Every structure is written in structure tokens, then in C-alpha cells.
Amino acid sequence: MTEKTVVITGANKSIGFETARQMGLRGYRIWLGSRDNDRGASAVASLQAEGIDARLLVVDITDNDSVLAAAERIMKEDGKLDILINNAGISGAQPIAPGSQSISDIKSVYETNVFGTIRMTQAFLPLLKATSEAKIIMVSSGLGSLSWVSDLTHPYARVEAMGYTSSKTALNAVTVAFAKELAEYGISVNAVDPGYTATDFNGHTGDRSVSQAAEGIVWLASLNAPEATGKFYFDRQQAPW
């Protein structure tokens, strides 16, 4: 059993929950991040029923006070954090043509997918620096790959969701920025695409299960290669930015 600790945002359901379950079964202590107390508590209870060391972390990544309070709690109880998995995200309006998507909707997507993730990462840096070989994982999307979405023969090029897709492109850039800063501390920072997964985002039309999606995240979290940082992965292979 490992004594490593993991924070997973947006983990009360779907890919985040399955990631928590798979990592918990590997012996990690799970801090299950959820905006909603009741839903989070129910998710934690499900994990604990499987013998997983899971704790509820009520956190709204769009709220600075909430994020700081979450970091302070873990500092008091564990004093460090080994892995931060920034999974929380929203889809925004889709399908919708770029010329029709409202600025307010795009801002809402960015507030969670980009600014919220930056907020979480910055607040938890002291905890990550308090251990060795810490990891930050950004749950991105292949829709954020400019290489894929600009290729008119690629399925992702047909998706109309400018707010969401561009937010994931921005998240990939954020990944590289943090990777460069934190390399001297031995903290790896990578992005991962869980693939087109059947979730609430797409009305459960995705062709991958949440179990398959989580496997790629768990693999990256378990990767014993500190030099692997500032990269984007899909199905255990490096993907194009």
C-alpha cells in the first residue's frame, strides 16, 4: 500500500469518480473534490464501501476562498500532496457555430476549464513542493489539439464548440507553462486526453467507457518517469499539441 495522496477535482461522478476509484484500489489516499457536499459525500461513501481511503473535499474551483480553504485543510491533515489531478470542467453550449456562441458562455467555460485549473494549481503548489516527485495532471481533450482540429479529415475538426475546444487548447498551453516553472522542483506537469467518452457532456454518445477513459489518467499518475513533463498523452502515447 502506498501512502501517497491524490486530489481529484470534479470527482463525484463520471471520469473523475472512476479515476478516484481506480487510484484508490491501488492504495492511494483519495481527496475527492466536489462542488456539491451531498453528491460528494455519496461518492465518497461508495469508494469507502470498496475499502478505499477516500475523503470528501468540498471545493469550487471558480471560487478563490473555496480553493484556499481546501488547500489549507489538506495542509493541516496531510501536510503534503503527491498528485493533483485537475479534472473538473464544463462543456458550454454545443453544438454551436463559433459566430453564434455568446461571450458570456465562453467566459463561463474559461472560468472553470482554464482559470479554475490555474487557481487550483497555484494554491496547491506549496503542498506539492512539500513532497518528492509530485505530479500535476491536467485532464484535457483531443479537441484542444490544434493539430487534430485543424486537420479537416480528422473527426475532431467537425466539432462545433469553440468555447470548450479553445479552453482545452489554452489548458494545454497552461500545462507547458507550469511544466517549465516546476521542473527545478522535480514536479512533472502533463496533460492527458481521456478520449471521446460516454458522459453527460455528450449525452453519453461517446464510444469509450469511463473505465477506459480513467485508465489513461491513472497510467499517467503512476508513470515513474520524472523527466516526462510538459507533454500531452492519449492512450499512453504522446499526442500532438
CATH number, domain of 183, equals 3.40.50.720
Tell me what percent of the residues of the chain surpass a pLDDT of 70.
Answer: 94
Side-chain-side CA neighbours of residue 84 (13 Å): 30
- Supply the pLDDT for residue 200: 61
Return phi, psi of residue 124, to 5°: -95, 0
How many CB atoms within 10 Å of residue 97? 9
Catalytic residue flag (residue 233): no
Q: Which residues span the domain enclosing 127?
A: 5-238
Whether residue 231 lies in the annotated active site: no
Dig out the grid coordinates for 215 from the structure. 485508465
Give the pLDDT band of residue 198 (cuts 50, 70, 90).
very low
CA distance 44 to 124: 21
> What is d(CA 229, CA 137) in angstroms, rounded to the nearest whole number?
10
Q: Which of 168, 180, 196, 233 is the catalytic position?
A: 168
Cα separation, 217 vs 232, whole angstroms:
11
Query: Could you give the 3-state DSSP secondary structure of residue 63?
Result: coil
Is this model's pTM higher than 0.85 or not?
Answer: yes
Q: Could you report the per-residue pLDDT of 160-191, keeping only the tens digit for each?
A: 999 999 999 999 999 999 999 999 999 999 99
What is residue 143's DSSP assignment? G
Of the chain, the percentage scoring pLDDT greater than 90 comes to 89
What average pLDDT score do residues 147-156 get? 96
Residue 19: C-alpha distances to residues 47, 95, 142, 169, 230 (Å): 11, 27, 18, 22, 21
In this structure, the number of other CB atoms found within 10 A of the CB of residue 18 comes to 22
The total of structural domains in the chain comes to: 1
Q: How large is the average pLDDT for residues 105-113?
A: 98
Determine the average pLDDT of the residues in 107-131: 98
Answer positive or negative: Cα dihedral of 190, 130, 23, 113.
Answer: negative
In this predicted model, what pLDDT tens digit does every residue of 124-150 receive, in sequence order?
A: 999 999 999 999 999 999 999 999 999
* Nearest CA among 55, 112, 123 for reference residue 87: 112
Q: How confident is the model at residue 48 (pLDDT cuts 50, 70, 90)?
A: very high
Report residue 237 as a C-alpha cell.
Answer: 502515447
| Mean residue pLDDT across the chain | 94
Active-site position among 28, 110, 164, 233: 164
